[in-house]
Amino acid sequence: MTLLEADTGVTAPAPPGARRRGVPKAVLNLISVVLGVALWWGLSATGPDIPAPPVVLDRAVELIGDGTLGADVLASLRRVLAGFVLGVLLAVPVAFLMGWYAPVRALVEPWIQFFRTIPPLALIPMAIVLMGIEETPKIFVIFLASFLSCVIATLQGVLGVDRTLIDAARVLGSTDRVVLTRVVIPASSPFILVGMRIGLGSSWATLVAAELIAAQQGLGYRMQSAQLYYDLPTIFVGLISIGVLGLLMDRMLLLAERRLTAWQETR
């Protein structure tokens, strides 16, 4: 006890590192996975016609052994990464232009909102007619889903920058370029990264629809082929593969977000 605590009778709060730590997050994640698998196993035993985890695992081992799953994963990853990266690369500058210049926002925003209401599946016929049946229409559909998700979040970040910070920078003699690079972009970075995470989720969600376009490989293609033969274990392998890949990529973005926005106070 310090002299101040003895005089006032008030105990100083413990430093953050000295507080009691709860259950580690990794342990909670593991518990969640175990409970989820147990629930799945219980449903497969007592409920609808759902394959049990061992059956799905056996099918996954077969698909890995003959190289099918590896080829499908690589094909889907190429499409998702290409569409996602292109979407982010276009969404960020478009969002900054819309947020920085009101006339640009007035011209572009109605079209963004218009296309956001159209599901990617509805664009497949147009994509086939205009781009053929090769990889281009598949990547385009994924790109559009990524772009539309990312641009909205980034735009919200640009519009939400504290006006006081911008005015203070201008008072100090900063040019528009300096204000943009030193104030607006750093303040918007959390929203950009959140937009990237949303765009990544949209890219994976659009994958199955994209692989309707004359695909010969891919997780979505494999699931659609299995549907014709009521091959539920293969469908489950595809679903789990998409979920695991999407989760791993999201965690990578989350790690980058924590490093790039370490200055931001979070819970």
Mean pLDDT of 209-221: 80
Mean pLDDT of 39-45: 82
Mean pLDDT of 105-118: 88
- Over the chain, what is the mean pLDDT? 81
Please indicate whether residue 94 or residue 10 has the higher confidence score (pLDDT).
Answer: 94
pLDDT at 19 over 90: no
Contacts of 250 (CB under 8 A, 6+ apart): 197, 200, 201
Residue 125 and residue 133: Cα distance in Å, rounded?
A: 10
pLDDT at 74: 93
Q: Mind listing the pLDDT tens digit for each residue in 85-111?
A: 999 999 988 998 888 888 988 999 888
Question: In this structure, how many other beta carbons lie within 10 angstroms of the beta carbon of residue 27?
Answer: 10
pLDDT at 143: 92
pLDDT at 7 over 60: no
Mean pLDDT of 213-230: 83
pLDDT at 263: 58
Tokens of 183: 């104030």
What is the CATH class of 75-215?
mainly alpha
Three state DSSP letters for 100-117 = HCHHHHHHHHHHHHHHHC
Residue 17 and residue 135: Cα distance in Å, rounded?
A: 52
Please indicate whether residue 154 or residue 7 has the higher confidence score (pLDDT).
Answer: 154
Cβ(249)–Cβ(83) below 8 Å: no
